Structure 1
Amino acid sequence: MNEIELVINDRIAELLSLVQIDNLQFEVEKKDLIEATAISATGERTCLIKVEVRESTHSIYIPNILLPEEMRGLGLGMRMLWLIFSVANHFKYSLYLIMLTDSFRQRMLNRGALPTAQHDILQIVKNTNLYSKDDPNNQQYIGVRL
């Protein structure tokens, strides 16, 4: 795992360590991609987010954000994007959302993500609004360290 992957892995793990939802545990690991997984008490695994770092192009791609029902409405999806964007920006990498559904694409365009030449790829930039009014930890991240 290279330095940027290590930092992304650590930041996602730190965020998920703050999440207190009964019967859910979390795992963040690097396989081919960095993957954060929610594990229920029954052992059911749900991939929350996948992150691909491409050193050759200084780009980060996120092909998957999927939160189980009990994790929705907490602002965690936007918080993960914000953390990854902060790391990408620090290391001078570009961040892209890929393989988007039309509805998620439109929501992210409304938040200021930039369209690219490909319909299902958006770039997250400094002006993209990754704030979530539903996130009870917003103030905690203002001075986040990398």
Structure 2
Amino acid sequence: MNVPANLFYTEEHEWVLIEGNTATVGITDFAQDALDELVYVEVETVGEELERNEVFGTIEAVKTTSDLFLPLAGKIIEFNSELDENEGDNPTLVNEDPYGKGWIIKVELADADDREGLLSPEQYQDLIG
């Protein structure tokens, strides 16, 4: 499984790239592989301020639907338009490139120094075996 060294991870199999006071969030290679072919990604929280671990959206695969949990508190400022059914409508980008074009949201962080609850790449690798 691909676990890039420049990211943080969650136990819910999401990745976080922190750049200044903005974080980009997506699901990991492990998660997209377990879910299999994605058919829909829904995020209706753009513009909302959410706390850590609040549901910010859902992701639907052929066999299941899963909630997406915000790894750090902040304001959802962008949903990847390539995934949005009203724009690009290509949720399989998450399968094809989970750490690149398949990112899901961008968040303006409430506290840019907060890393509570995030896993290092090594810790995440240990979690997934």
TM-score (norm 1): 0.28
Larger of the two Rg values belongs to structure: 1
User: If each structure's helix is expressed as a fraction of its own residues, which one has the higher value?
Assistant: 1
User: If each structure's strand is expressed as a fraction of its own residues, which one has the higher value?
Assistant: 2
TM-score (norm 2): 0.30
RCO comparison, higher one (Cα < 8 Å, 6+): 2
